[in-house]
Amino acid sequence: MTIGERLSRVAMIPVAPVLYAQGKRLRRDTPILPPAPLPWHGSHPGPDPLRLLLLGDSTVAGVGAATQRDGLAGNLGRELGERLGRGVEWRAVGESGATSRDLLERFVDEAVSEPVDVAFLSVGANDALGLRSRAVFGRDIRLIVGQLRQMSPDCTIIMSSLPAFFRFELLPNPLKRNLYRHSRSLEAEARRIIGMTDNARMSPPPPPYTDGFFASDLFHPSAVGYRDWARFAIDDAVASGVLA
């Protein structure tokens, strides 16, 4: 990581007025898509079912998909079941717009209310958008992982990489460039923490997004995007040996 990425918030100060104006315009002009309707739980048929928990922000809430079965939760359940030849019982906990702090304050208790075999954490995009510090974000990730481990000591923890903001056509520069730099700083801290955690894996940065990956707001994944994302995450987890 470069010094510029480590000091990513400081680097934004000279262009702060431009970033503020671009961010305000983006929020005004971008359509707001709803989360997927309830229920936020489901299953993939098969023997000896695995218990899969998803905890996170709008992607866990299924924003951009018609149902959770078409969102990240349902696609992860299918990919996990098909790769391991087992059934999967999945549930999603979180909220659109949630930061790591929001997860700790409002959603972790529900998430750890019952033991799980695999926990998938998708958070950080809103921390980057909110310019939360690297140190504070890292503290939150440690606490979230600690609570997951306390309830389910043997579970596999998978954390998604942060979005590749530099590939978001919706975002103008310098907002895109600075947001990507800050997200890399946050991701590096999360990757360091996950790397020191037993039976845990943080997905690598995603490949170029394919045609049809984004929903109509050009920010969240579509059903196609969630399918591609789930396949990428499970393929990596299996190849790395964290999922056997």
Alpha helices in the chain (DSSP H): 3-6, 8-11, 16-29, 72-84, 100-102, 108-111, 125-129, 134-151, 175-195, 223-240
Structural tokens at position 216: 């109509």
Sign of CA dihedral 219, 222, 224, 226: positive
pLDDT at site 136: 96
**Contact criterion met (CB below 8 Å) for 180 and 2:** no
pLDDT at site 176: 81
Report the alpha-carbon distance of residue 185 to residue 182 in Å, rounded: 5
**203 contacts: CB under 8 Å, gap ≥ 6:** 158, 159, 160, 161, 232, 233, 236, 237
pLDDT at site 131: 83
3-state SS assignment for residue 206: coil
pLDDT at site 130: 84
pLDDT at site 47: 97
Report the alpha-carbon distance of residue 48 to residue 232 in Å, rounded: 24
3-state SS assignment for residue 159: strand
Report the alpha-carbon distance of residue 103 to residue 105 in Å, rounded: 6
Mean pLDDT by 10 residues, the chain (244 residues): 44 52 59 91 96 97 97 98 97 96 97 97 92 94 97 97 88 79 94 96 93 93 97 97 90
pTM of the model: 0.90
Report the alpha-carbon distance of residue 180 to residue 143 in Å, rounded: 25
Report the alpha-carbon distance of residue 46 to residue 175 in Å, rounded: 46
Domains (ranges, CATH) in the chain? 3-240 (3.40.50.1110)
Other CB atoms within 10 Å distance of the CB of residue 33: 17
